[in-house]
Amino acid sequence: MTTKTLPDVPVGMHRVYRRFEHWRSSHRGRLPIPKALWASAGEVAREHGVFRTAKILRLEYGKLKRMAESAAPVRRAPAPPAEFLELVPPQAVSPAECLIELEGPRGKMRIQWKGATAPDLAGLSRALWESA
pLDDT per residue over 51-75, tens digit each? Answer: 999 999 999 999 999 888 886 565 6
Is this structure's pTM higher than 0.85? no
pLDDT value of position 7: 55
Residue ranges, the chain, pLDDT below 70: 1-7, 71-76, 85, 91-95, 116-120, 124-125, 128-129, 131-132
Task: With H, G, I as helix, E, B as strand and everything else as coil, classify residue 26.
Answer: helix
pLDDT at 100: 79
pLDDT for 75? 62
pLDDT at position 2 is: 40
The 8 Å CB, 24+ separation contacts for 9-15 are: 9/56, 10/48, 10/52, 10/56, 12/44, 12/47, 12/48, 13/44, 13/48, 13/53, 13/56, 13/57
